[in-house]
Amino acid sequence: MGPAAEAAGTGLDVPLIDLSGWDTDPGAQRAIAARVDAAAATTGVLRVAGHGIPDTIHAGAADAIALFFDRVPAAKLRYRPAEPDLDRGYTPPGPHHAPEAFRVGTRAADFPDRALPAAIYPDNIWPVGLPRFEPQVMAWFDAAQGFARRLTRVFAVALDLPEGFFAPYTGHSIDVLRLDHHARGAPVPADAYGAAGRTDLGLLRVLWSDTPRGLQFGDEQGRWHDVAPDPGTVLVNIGDLLARWTNDRWLSVPHRVVPAADPGGGSAPWRSAALSHGGDFDALVTTLPTCVDADRPDYYEPVTVAGHVAARSGAARWRRIVDPRAAVDT
């Protein structure tokens, strides 16, 4: 794919799934599940209505993004994590015009009855002097996490499994919320369209944005497609772990943010909140029997969630969980 094709982008037809009747109309469940299965197997991305996250929660997330990211750079940099891959705190803008970000996630302290590894479930880093920030961020985190757990029930039925199949694998799920921000600025440089994008390592990702342009998803042919979040919906994409679990019946596709040009010739702003729902670090994932047949043999060996993330990310803290004897990066 050449730079011109990448820069232009094309619209992706992301199916709309309305979950409103799932809990009240058993007759609608099979139709909803069939639409989910078709979308996950063809685009790997779903546009979901009836998600149950109130507009006030989204508005709070938007306010929190403005509160933190409008600070001067020095005031944000003090909240960078001690380890770059810790998935907590502030990350400044990256290569190819990548947005700056702030992350929070599941902590070991959330499960005092379990000896969860602090390296995988670290404490969050909260900015001082912003009293609304933490409650607004955690309100969105809790709402999105609840929706993600509800969605796994839908996914189970779509995969011809009992509705509660995924619950034992997500009791202390590694969930990370990423707030992304790109301020209005100079024209987008040509190398922004060279960004390779990334997939999500876990089960699924829930994304909200009130910015109409900037998000792109890739396809299996290496082409990039614009996806505009619709008011009242959230976007859900399949993660690497669920693609593996389904024996590649469902697709995990890369995504990226390329700020759009505004009418004045500069780059338009972008802001979003995205929750990655990752599964329990010690859960053993074995290929789903409903996703194996004569035409699709089992492609994968069983693996723990920690083993999957260690292999995919290469991060030292994950390798130490899988094998305590693993060498520590210097």
Which domain range does residue 236 map to? 3-284
Tell me the DSSP string of 173-241: --EEEEEEEE-SBSPPPGGGGG---B--SSSEEEEEES-SS-EEEE-TTS-EEE-PPPTT-EEEEE-HH
Residue 244, domain member (yes or no)? yes
**Residue 69: inside a domain:** yes
Residue 11: per-residue pLDDT: 66
The rounded distance, in Å, linking the Cα atoms of 158 and 108 is: 32
- Mean pLDDT score of the chain: 89
> Token match 């050449």: residue?
2
- Please state the pTM of the whole predicted model: 0.91
**Helix 26-42 / helix 133-158 crossing angle, nearest 10 deg:** 100
261 neighbors 194 (Cβ within 8 angstroms): no
Domains: count for the chain? 1
Provide mean pLDDT across the span 323-329: 54
User: Residue 301 falls within a domain, yes or no?
Assistant: no
Q: Is 280 within the bounds of a domain?
A: yes
| 60 lies in some domain | yes
Q: Which pLDDT tens digit goes with each residue over 131-185?
A: 999 999 999 999 999 999 999 999 999 999 999 999 999 999 999 999 999 887 7
C-alpha to C-alpha distance for 108 and 113, rounded to whole angstroms: 10
- CB 278: neighbour CB atoms within 10 A? 27
Is the pLDDT confidence value at 18 over 90? yes
In this structure, what CATH number is given to the domain that contains residue 215?
2.60.120.330
Structure confidence at residue 191 (pLDDT): 62
In a domain, 68, yes or no: yes
Strand partners, 17: 48
Percentage with pLDDT > 70 across the chain: 90
Domain assignment present for residue 322? The answer is: no
In a domain, 298, yes or no: no
